């Protein structure tokens, strides 16, 4: 992973991932990253993970391009990122807490957004059931996201 300084700070602050979680975190990131890269062609997406205080994993997705600077790009990337995270965490036995999202421009400012992975799964469930369209999903994702700055 290149130029992800605040992600490194996050991992150090969290104490890194537990040894038994490394395989789970790697598997989740491989699945999520592959899905997002396959569906979103205008940017590469990097994934990493860190242990959270509850003994689970927080997942960190970073778009290489500044997707948060263009609303249409941001919305499309977020829907795919949330959907891919929901799918991967639903089929995993790993305990997950937050999905942290950012792009390279925001990382340079030590900024990102976080939402619970349980919320990602709930949004995806409603989309798959036809209860929520993509515009509604963006509204719910926006409502669930909180500003995130790693502890230093």
Per-residue tokens: 44? 């590469």
pLDDT value at 38 more than 50: yes
Top-confidence residue, 70 or 52: 70
In the 8-state DSSP scheme, what is residue 130?
T
Residue 130 CB contacts under 8 Å (≥ 6 apart), including other chains: none
Per-residue model confidence (pLDDT) at position 152: 63
The predicted model scores a pTM of: 0.86
Q: What is the band of 151 on the pLDDT scale with cuts at 50, 70, 90?
A: confident
What's the pLDDT tens digit per position in 93-145? 999 999 999 999 998 899 999 999 999 999 999 999 999 999 999 999 999 99
Match 């969290």 to its residue by tokens. 14
- What is 52-76 written as a DSSP string? -TTSSEEEEEEESS-GGGSHHHHHH
Whole-angstrom distance, CA of residue 33 vs CA of residue 61: 8
């Amino acid at each position: 992973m290149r130029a992800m300084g605040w992600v490194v700070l996050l991992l150090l602050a969290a104490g890194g991932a537990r040894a038994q979680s490394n395989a789970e975190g790697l598997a989740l990131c491989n699945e999520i990253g592959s899905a997002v890269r396959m569906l979103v062609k205008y940017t590469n997406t990097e994934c990493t993970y860190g242990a959270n205080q509850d003994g689970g994993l927080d997942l960190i997705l970073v778009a290489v391009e500044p997707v948060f600077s263009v609303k249409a790009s941001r919305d499309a990337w977020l829907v795919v990122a949330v959907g891919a995270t929901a799918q991967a965490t639903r089929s995993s036995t790993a305990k997950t807490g937050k999905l942290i999202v950012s792009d390279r421009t925001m990382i340079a400012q030590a900024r990102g957004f976080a939402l619970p992975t349980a919320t990602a799964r709930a949004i995806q469930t409603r989309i798959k059931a036809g209860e929520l369209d993509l515009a509604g999903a963006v509204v719910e994702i926006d409502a669930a996201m909180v500003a995130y700055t790693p502890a230093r």
